[in-house]
Chain A
Amino acid sequence: GESVGLHLPTLSVQEGDNSIINCAYSNSASDYFIWYKQESGKGPQFIIDIRSNMDKRQGQRVTVLLNKTVKHLSLQIAATQPGDSAVYFCAENEYGNKLVFGAGTILRVKS
Chain B
Amino acid sequence: GAGVSQSPRYKVAKRGQDVALRCDPISGHVSLFWYQQALGQGPEFLTYFQNEAQLDKSGLPSDRFFAERPEGSVSTLKIQRTQQEDSAVYLCASSLAPDTQYFGPGTRLTVL
Contacts and interface: CB of A to CB of B under 8 A. Distances in A.
Contacts of B93: 43, 99
Task: Pick the most buried of B91, B99, B102, B105: most chain A CB atoms within 10 A of its CB.
Answer: B99
Given A98-B33, A98-B59, A46 B44 contact: no
A43 B48 contact: no
Interface in B26-83: 33, 35, 37, 39-45, 48, 55-56, 59
Contact of B91 (A7, A8, A44, A49): A44
Contact of B104 (A43, A101, A102): A43
Q: How large is the interface on A (under 10, 10 to 19, 20 to 34, 35 or more residues)?
A: 20 to 34
Contacts, number: 68
Interface residues of B, number: 27
A6 B37 CA distance: 13
A25 interface: no
A42 interface: yes
B40 A43 contact: no
B100 A46 contact: yes
A89 B42 contact: yes
A85 B48 CA distance: 30
A11 B69 CA distance: 40
B40 A99 contact: no
The 3 closest A-B pairs by CB, nearest first: A96-B98, A101-B42, A43-B103
18 contacts: A8-B40, A34-B101, A36-B103, A41-B105, A42-B106, A43-B4, A43-B103, A43-B106, A44-B91, A49-B99, A89-B42, A96-B97, A97-B48, A97-B55, A97-B56, A98-B33, A100-B45, A104-B42
Interface of A: 2-8, 32, 34, 36, 41-46, 49, 89, 91, 93, 95-104
Interface of B: 4, 33, 35, 37, 39-45, 48, 55-56, 59, 91, 93, 97-106
